[in-house]
Structure 1
């Protein structure tokens, strides 16, 4: 199966193709185009040519196209889920959940396209403003570069492509090297839905080659990137005055206060830690449990973890499967070994089989260990004992990241204090930090990035606010 570039509404044969292998069993899945500079330039030129048409397109037409894509994804849900499981080694039941969310994200984008609006400004509120009428409008930026990761290869694409098109922009999409197939399928669906040629272009290949061109080309007006802090910081430096939205990951934490009913939340916490093998930006990686509950929490958490089914992502019963690449397996095992050298105890897991790291629970992890202070992106979680909520909040904040955090507590004062003091973009009270629905504002502080996703908020990011002022006489 050979997969071409999608440029200006056509499948374009590339000068080079490279094999794509399954992360789970190494099977050759496809031969995928590996774009060169000239081919990326071709995609940008196509997006530029389509920009005036998209900018003039009525909101109801943009909404209709996005709504049709949502319906097509739902109609072909099994095919989409199978493709995600194949290219990303995401367990099939998690892939199905992602497909459902993706359809909803495009439906939300369709609705948002109909309500992009400005506001009237009462200029006579200030001296000198008399006799004037003013209002604002939001206009599309032009070309949006969407650079997306492997872990949610359909829904994180939707969070960039959907709002960008809803606002009347055109898009050049660079999907992750391991997961291009779902993005190429998306191009088919948008074509079927009636999107004008050039409004969406998909270029596959090297992140450094394609990304550098997109970030530095003056015709590209905004860059939306999800990935590592190192790459994101580089994009910010190169982007100049472009609008930039960066979602750069985390080592998300959960606090468990004394008095919490553990049976109501243990399975939820285990899911947050090990869903998609921990390859989730808001995966639960650090848990700080009050000392009065620590032993009971560990016992129940470990038991629930050991009940997870590990194996083939195409098996409908699988909970945890392969990591995306062998190097991530090796890094995970190195981090576990380092934590052990620093005094941590492995309560369960700590081993791998081929590219599968078994769900791992570490206890009493030193704060300097990589597994504590860096992003694991693997099925590894640490559980540490704390003597007070003050100590727990300090431990959560002792991080270069700040995407989301959670706290389970029965005390409203503790909940309010945590909501105000936790240095993150979102605080989940009586839930895990892995909670997300697709219309909420989503983004972080510190090295977790800048800007906010969530359909409404991303749509605003992809527009320019313009003031229009009339003098009556």
Structure 2
């Protein structure tokens, strides 16, 4: 039987994209039981079978790329250029997972470094901790789903994936591709469950691993609810970019900051939010930045935010900042769910556009006299996901890597850069654990040591 129908609408115009049912309690129970029962089957699944399934999913995604892109745009609202880019990344995510599955072999250690261990050798391998509950957000309805499912398949861990109720259609279409593989029953299940019923899934002891991407509030509640489980959290941030005085191509830097502070309406955990510019070049750079922002095509590059509540919140935060003395250099207005790309200068340090994650098309510009003060400003946040530093000085680059309290530092570009195979995650309130194929595979598994005795080494 099916549950209450969820009406999925296009954020841009409110048109109905599709209707899908929430899973009934009996269906949820059956899915959890199937995932738990598949633990032994997944553990025994040969590497070639896991890799072949991942390769097949990647190939089918590539073959149906435009279909997926159009669906992402329809239910999420992001401009088609970013939807197509997301599909391309998902194709690579599954391909990388296939490659990692083939080399997920473990380590051999000889133990006869001590005389008492002569003839002993250890084999260290990783095995799934158990079934995984994956919870994905609305802003990347395909690739962030892929980052939950692909590493689970790669290690043979059953996964029950709960997509965001606002954008479930893409995940369900992906599930159709997965069902066409020869993976055993119960290894991958995509299940639409109301957010209000999520806590029961999180607390279910048959799902000992929880991988969540979403808001800080919900992530913290999950961590408090199941402190005994292995929980990974990607909770966002208020990403900063530093533009040093030695950076020569200010126009290119301004173009990158303008684009990736506003792409898909700023709804990216590593979208640029705080812009720190050396005071020696601030006048020139800010003029370039404002011009680049004002030249953005709202329909082709920016798009709408996800719903009316998000648009109203962003508008409120902008008003709060301007009431506190921030100067509006561009934007600052909204029409429905379309928030104009906004540049604020000198917002109060305690304003929410500085302290919190805006998750909208808002850039907050300030200046600094020295690079040390710039790095201190970046670190003056409870978040720490990624940062970008436009510098040509190798010493500054290494200092940024050492001193910035973030999970990733991007030199010569914005913090929005992400390669899907690299470790990705945050420090401080930005979360715990890492995505990126091999990193997530490690989070889904734990080490087990086999000691062999009497071996002629």
Q: Which TM-score band applies after superposition, normalised by the shorter structure?
A: over 0.9
Alignment of 1:128 with 2:116, yes or no, is yes
Q: Which TM-score applies when normalising by structure 2?
A: 0.97
Unaligned runs of 5+ in 2: none
Counterpart of 2:432? 450
Which residue, 196, 209, 214 being the options, matches 1:222? 209
- 1:291 aligned partner: 279
The structure-2 alpha-carbon separation of the partners of 1:114 and 1:23, relative to structure 1 and needing over 3 Å to count, comes to same
Which residue does the alignment assign to 1:58? 46
Aligned partner of 1:243 in structure 2 is: 230
| Cα shift at 1:221 | 2.1
Q: Name which of 375, 379, 392 aligns with 1:397.
A: 379
Give the CA deviation at 1:40.
1.7
2:93 corresponds in structure 1 to: 105
Alignment of 1:458-469 (within 5 A): 458-469=440-451
* Equivalent position SS for 1:176: coil
Q: Distance in 1 between matches of 2:6 and 2:392?
A: 54
Query: What residue number does 1:340 align with?
Result: 322
| CA–CA distance in structure 1, aligned partners of residues 116 and 204 of structure 2 | 42
Q: 2:423 aligns with which of 417, 441, 447?
A: 441
The 3-state SS of whatever aligns with 1:193 is coil
> SS of the counterpart of 2:392?
coil
Partner of 1:387: 369
Aligned length: 454
- Cα distance, 1:15 vs structure 2: 2.6
Q: For residues 402 and 425 of structure 1, what CA distance do their matches in structure 2 show? A: 6
- Equivalent residue for 2:242, pick from 225, 233, 255: 255
From 289, 295, 305, give the equivalent of 1:301.
Answer: 289
CA RMSD in angstroms comes to 1.3
CA distance in 2, matches of 1:52, 1:409: 51
Alpha-carbon offset, residue 67 of structure 1: 0.3
**Counterpart of 1:34 in 2: which secondary structure?**
strand
1:250-295 deviations in whole A, cap 9, x for unaligned?
A: 0000111113220232211112211111100101000000111111
Which residue pairs with 2:71 in the alignment? 83
Q: Is the 8 A contact 1:37 1:213 kept in 2?
A: no
Q: TM-score, normalised by structure 1?
A: 0.94
Once residues 113 and 295 of structure 2 are traced to their aligned partners in structure 1, the CA distance between those partners, rounded to angstroms, is 64
Alpha carbons 1:291, 1:387 under 8 Å: kept: yes
Contact 2:6–2:165 (Cα < 8 Å) also in 1: no
Matched, 1:68 2:56: yes
**Displacement over 4 Å in runs of 4+:** none
The separation in 2 between residues aligned to 1:128 and 1:241, in whole angstroms, is: 37
SS of the residue 2:301 aligns to: coil
Gaps of 5+ in 1: 1-12, 312-317
Q: 1:471 Cα shift?
A: 2.4
Secondary structure (helix, strand or coil) at the match of 2:60 reads helix
Q: Which moved more, 1:231-240 or 1:157-166?
A: 231-240
Aligned equivalents of 1:215 and 1:168: distance in 2? 20
User: Are the structure 2 counterparts of residues 251 and 116 from structure 1 closer, same or farther at C-alpha, using a change threshold of 3 Å?
Assistant: same
Alignment of 1:27-426 (within 5 A): 27-126=15-114, 128-209=116-197, 211-261=198-248, 262-311=250-299, 318-426=300-408
Instruction: Please tell me whether the aligned partners of residues 239 and 385 of structure 2 are also in contact (alpha carbons under 8 angstroms).
Output: yes
Stretch moving more, 227-236 or 127-136:
127-136
Shift of 1:460: 1.4
Counterpart Cα distance in 2 of 1:300 and 1:37: 55
Deviation of 1:414 (Å): 2.1
Q: Report the CA distance between 1:341 and its aligned residue.
A: 1.0
